[in-house]
Structure 1
């Protein structure tokens, strides 16, 4: 259950990728908050900047990527200004990560027990080998895998089990926030549902927050409390998940919602989104979605709309149609 207390505050976050003769602005001055106990989603097409945001929050951006502006505050402390010692305490203990293709990230030649114990011992050396082993057993029980299998290797587990093990490692130090970037990629729909249901159960039991990143809007609506929709490096809408489905305000959000089939009712023709996103090295002056938007007006090509809160919809959206 989420509270109104803000855990992580992101303001004007800007990330660039620097080339020899150009700069690609992958994330352009976005703002959002994640509350305690909340599941906050970031949705959008591939290349919109979702994973770049995740890496920036984790302080894992590497050249040619560069966090060129903004603040990421955890309880008022700016993560982007942490020194090496503070950053070590921040990662895994306060914020942990399950990134894309996580189930392939496990070392195939080291038993799972060693991989979990290594994380625990690195950050909590006072526990000792025995204490770390005990916690690893507790983590396996938590994710529903028999602790007797703790000393097996990754190839001895199914894809769904390996994903659960990665989630267990992320939970090893009882973090306050887990960043999950496409955590169900390459899993079939039945296993996807099992993983999501387990994440929900663990979140409710342990009280951590989640930043959930995916292009699957349907999956996100089921899991998240609020959703931020990204397009071409910008946030174009932030709203409760129910509103994103039933009352989307931005034309791009509406188009995303129309791109997956309903499970009930008559068959309808699915409509794709025509065109392609703009090049990040040559961004348009006005609204970045204008060239693909069926409702575009002259002002859309001249002036970029600001993300504004609309109390009648209880959502934030960046669109001239709402002004």
Structure 2
């Protein structure tokens, strides 16, 4: 079996070194990142990858989002450093890295569109773009970001949605921060699901019918809450007394449920077999891509790759379905060999 890991994270050297010059760099990029060599050390990355046969990675940046690293004037340089670093890696090691997901300075939408135009026109290995589920707190269906999705659709390149949420977003109105890392455990799946809902209900997918979207972590909460996004959202507005939402469903060309089914998803669920079964049942084998979310496992690299492969093997799927999930869907979506 071949494997194209569609969603994993790395910082190319030029960007990593630039980040280290920031005041309080260790705090800005997160304590966890600094202690995971596989996310910035190429030799360590190769050591991990070599443990798996016929295994390649489509690279994308780790957290935090580029837009959280600086001002709108500073972030375009950071995005370019990341993208140029990835392009160099893809050119130098095509057998390991068949492509990358572009990073964007989302707090500068005009510059983000220009950078996306640049990388997709350059044909330098950018096979898609990674966008986080909010932009420093702003929703993705805000009009200022529409041109970014429009550009991705124009080039027929997928948008990969990565959750973004921190402890500064409390779980209770009486508190000023989220405790016990609930912001990550349950907050991130909610973040992705909320972003998907805003994209669906805003009508963006009707305006951009060619837009391809992938929701990280097997579609987050959506497969498990099929009943809520199905017959539940067919009653949109019935539970709201503060505004009239009757126009939302009237303006959509399909049921909300059908748009949620149009997303792609990946297998990065930290080695959970029940979650994998649920996600595959909802999306089907044609819409799911192999991904590990490496190197954020307890072993700092190989754990989630190994566990995800083991879960897929345990499902005893037909050979053709396994090939779709493990590499053929990625080949088709990314348009790579």
TM-score (norm: length of structure 2): 0.33
User: Which structure dedicates a bigger proportion of its chain to strand?
Assistant: 1
| Structure whose alpha-carbon radius of gyration is higher | 1
With CA pairs under 8 Å and 6+ residues apart, which has the higher RCO, 1 or 2? Answer: 1
User: Which structure dedicates a bigger proportion of its chain to helix?
Assistant: 2
